[in-house]
């Protein structure tokens, strides 16, 4: 994905519980290089809360974000 600072973007990640039991987890965002983290601003993210999946359940998980123009 090519992004431009200051513009709002939407994407999604695919998650699947491949086990035969219920699973609850919470994603943790990481950035490379690490210095970039202060410029990434998420307005919607599945990483804000725990997500529960039933056995073999899958879904697309949305993320909306922008890059702070101060990155320049």
pLDDT of residue 65: 97
> DSSP strand E in the chain: where?
8-16, 23-25, 40-45, 51-53, 58-67
Q: What is the mean pLDDT of residues 39-63?
A: 97
pLDDT of residue 72: 84
Burial letters for 29-51: b for 16+ Cβ neighbours within 10 Å, e otherwise? eeeeeeeeeeeeeeeeebeeeeb
What would the pLDDT profile of 1-43 be if each residue is shown by its tens digit?
Answer: 999 999 999 999 999 999 999 999 999 989 899 999 999 999 9
Q: What is the mean pLDDT of residues 55-69?
A: 97
């Amino acid at each position: 994905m090519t992004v431009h600072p200051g513009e709002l973007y939407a994407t999604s990640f695919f998650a699947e519980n491949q086990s035969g039991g219920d699973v609850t987890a919470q994603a943790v965002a990481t950035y490379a290089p690490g210095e970039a983290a202060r410029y990434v601003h998420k307005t919607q993210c599945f990483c804000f809360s725990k997500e529960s999946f039933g056995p073999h359940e899958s879904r697309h998980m949305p993320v909306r974000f922008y890059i702070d123009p101060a990155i320049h």
